[in-house]
Amino acid sequence: MNSSRPNAKYFEFTLFVDYGNLRYLFFALCFLIYATIISANMVIIVTVLLEKSLHEPMYVFICLLSVNSLYGSAGFFPRLLFDLLSDTHLISRASCFVQIYVIYTYAFCEFGTLAVMAYDRLVAICQPLHYRARMSVRKAVRLWAAAVSFPALCVCCVVSFTIRLPLCGNKLERVSCANRAVVDNSCVDTSHVNIAGHFTVFTCIFIPFFFVLYTYMRILVVCRQGSAEVRGKALQTCVPHLMTFVIYSCSVFLELVISKYNNDPVATAVLSLEYLIVPSISNTLIYGMKLPQIRTAVVRRFRIKIKIKKMVSNPSLLS
């Protein structure tokens, strides 16, 4: 670490280099990915909100997953697009900590939402006669709010500890702000921040992870003992959720492993972007293609919009 303390008001991303005209290609690619994430998730959100037949807990959770994807990508992509076209790659101290908070709460809230969705499926399949009494849209939103409030509070505590650290450097070997990268620039002992970070990771990632595994063990037992109709219902509603859970879990655990054990900062930065990009796109593809209710509603909304445009452009169709 540097012995002299640099300007602590700014951090510098050191992995951005001058690729010449290639940076415009990278900008176009990232912009396309961001536009895809926004448009795909907005389709899911608007469809669930407008279709009364989708005002059920399961579809509300899918809508909340899309909202979380928009939230997380908004904390990352605008800054990345700006840096790709900028000659200087500085970010203010305040903006850096805001980005850390947004990205981390996105990651942990995703696990919380998936855990609540697993509970919803557990009740629907294992106790179908009591499902209406135990689950409603209002209860679903309350469960989701409880599941994401604790991670948001934990991240707030960790970030508040990091903000107070005196810094002997301002270099971040990343393309976005990360709490560990900021802590590495500290001049003092950071054990209390590390303990808070490990506690947050354990409670906000591993506990929801093992809870989801537990619910699917219960669901598997019921399916093996149940009829073909029960197995068919479980297959239709659980496979999309299970695919989303596996993809996101692999992305997050990959980020945890490479950030801790990989000594190549470029590979670490590139691979760590997966949990911000892949789940946000795959969620909409999985639920749009696997759940016929959402697929049918999207197609119907699209056809209505096309029909209205044709009527506006050709008034004779109204007669």
Domain boundaries, the chain: 10-244+276-313
75 with 276: CB under 8 angstroms? no
CA distance linking residue 51 with residue 48, whole number of Å:
5
pLDDT value at residue 317: 47
pLDDT value at residue 305: 55
pLDDT value at residue 1: 42
pLDDT value at residue 6: 47
Q: Which two tokens stand for residue 241?
A: 């959720």
Cα–Cα distance list, 129 to 11, 92, 114, 117 (Å)? 56, 55, 23, 18
283 with 191: CB under 8 angstroms? no
pLDDT value at residue 3: 43
Q: What is this structure's pTM?
A: 0.85
Closest by CA to 277, choosing from 246, 251, 257, is 251
pLDDT value at residue 181: 87
What is the chain's pLDDT, residue by residue, as a tens digit (319 residues)?
444 454 468 888 877 766 667 788 889 999 999 999 999 899 889 888 888 888 889 889 999 999 999 999 999 999 989 988 888 888 999 999 999 999 999 999 999 999 999 999 999 888 888 888 888 899 999 999 999 999 999 999 999 999 988 888 888 888 888 888 899 888 888 888 999 999 999 999 999 999 999 999 988 888 887 677 767 777 777 888 888 899 888 888 887 777 666 666 666 666 667 777 888 888 888 876 666 667 676 676 666 555 555 554 555 544 5
Three-state DSSP string of the chain: CCCCCCCCCEEEECCCCCCCCHHHHHHHHHHHHHHHHHHHHHHHHHHHHHCHHHCCHHHHHHHHHHHHHHHHHHCCHHHHHHHHHCCCCEEEHHHHHHHHHHHHHHHHHHHHHHHHHHHHHHHHHHCHHHHHHHCCHHHHHHHHHHHHHHHHHHHHHHHHHHHCCCECCCEECCCCCCHHHHHCCECCCCHHHHHHHHHHHHHHHHHHHHHHHHHHHHHHHHHHHCCHHHHHHHHHHHHHHHHHHHHHHHHHHHHHHHHHHCCCHHHHHHHCCHHHHHHHHHHHHHHHHHCHHHHHHHHHHHHHHHHHHHHHHCHHHHC
What is the fold of 10-244+276-313? Rhopdopsin 7-helix transmembrane proteins (1.20.1070)
**One-letter identity of residue 207:** I
Give backbone dihedrals phi and psi of 86, rounded to 5 degrees, phi first. Answer: -95, 150
Q: Which two tokens stand for residue 227?
A: 């009829």
